Amino acid sequence: MRLATRKDGSRDGQLVILSPDGGHCAPAPVRTLQEAIEHWDVFAAEALAIDAFPDALKPDALAAPLPRAWQWLDGSAFESHGALMDKVLGITPEKTGRPLMYQGLSDRFYGPTDDIPMPDEALGIDFEGEYGVIVDNVPMGIDADAAMAHIRLVVQINDWSLRALAGPEMKTGFGWVQAKPACSMAPFAVTPGELGDQWRDGRVCMDLLVDWNGVRFGAANGAPMGFGFHELVAHAARTRHLPAGTVIGSGTVSNPDFREVGSSCIAERRGIEIVDEGAPRTAFMCFGDRVRMEARTEDGRTPFGAIDQRVIAYQGA
């Protein structure tokens, strides 16, 4: 099952269910994705019984599948990315055997074709291609095996970053605020079963194709996550209940052969240049730049649809 949210002037939009071919949709039996995830078993049974899809799907009219969430918890589960960034920054991280994770802004997720307002080009505007999951109610202290059953939907995310602010905030030891504006989501949230063999061991085993201003920038695969999503969910729930609608991200999708397959963020490309050449050559984004992200299965399907967005100057309220 694939779900999307149509813009209708409200904060949370109208949830729709996609036809098998993805070209049409039908109104869901509940108004919003938040309602669906809170009553998932009842919702799923009613949604799967729908067999008529009367409305043509209009991609430009879609919001993020979940336009706002109770929590957004982002991991850093790709070891190749973390190791490179630690080397560039001269950091020797403490080895804990636990995932890295922070809690970010969740009162909005940009839709897949929304323009992205940023305050200043000098802040180091960067995209970050990720995968994510949306869970139902997760009890505190759950183990990873049991957590797998609470993953109801899988999504594709662009976790925007302002790199000039990230370093100073990291060095405070107190986490990110200014360096992490709102994220974007691809148009379709999909059930894990919809991904078939591309969902394995809590991982999205698909290439994430990233194009910057029409030029291929990266095609890293999601399989090499150091921790699967079920393990990230269990980590997040160690000391708290997770409310239905919590979104958990993978961190920047990265592969050990990043020099060959490319990167899912500019910071990684710059890190490679620093290691190989002594200094970065690739600049961060400018106003008017466009980034496109589209995860693709081995047989060419694109179950999440595409994020295709332009960065613009913030003009005020």
**CB distance 226 to 77 below 8 Å:** yes
C-alpha torsion angle, residues 46, 37, 146, 235 (rounded to 10) = 170
Q: Residue 166: its pLDDT value, please?
A: 87
Q: How far is CA 58 from the centre of its chain?
A: 22
**CB distance 166 to 76 below 8 Å:** no
Q: Residue 188: its pLDDT value, please?
A: 98
Predicted confidence pLDDT, tens digits, the chain (317 residues): 999 999 999 999 999 999 999 999 999 999 999 999 999 999 999 999 999 999 999 999 999 999 999 999 999 999 888 788 777 777 676 777 889 899 999 999 999 999 999 999 999 999 999 999 999 999 999 999 999 999 999 999 999 999 999 888 877 777 788 999 999 999 999 999 999 999 999 999 999 999 999 999 999 999 999 999 999 999 999 999 999 999 999 999 999 999 999 999 999 999 999 999 999 999 999 999 999 999 999 899 999 999 999 999 999 86
CA distance 48 to 53: 12
Report all structural domains of the chain as residue ranges with CATH numbers, in order of start: 1-63 (no CATH), 66-313 (3.90.850.10)
Taking the model in full, what pTM does it have?
0.96
CA atoms within 13 A on the CB side of 152: 24
Q: Residue 97: its pLDDT value, please?
A: 80
Q: How far is CA 126 from the centre of its chain?
A: 14
CA distance 258 to 271: 11
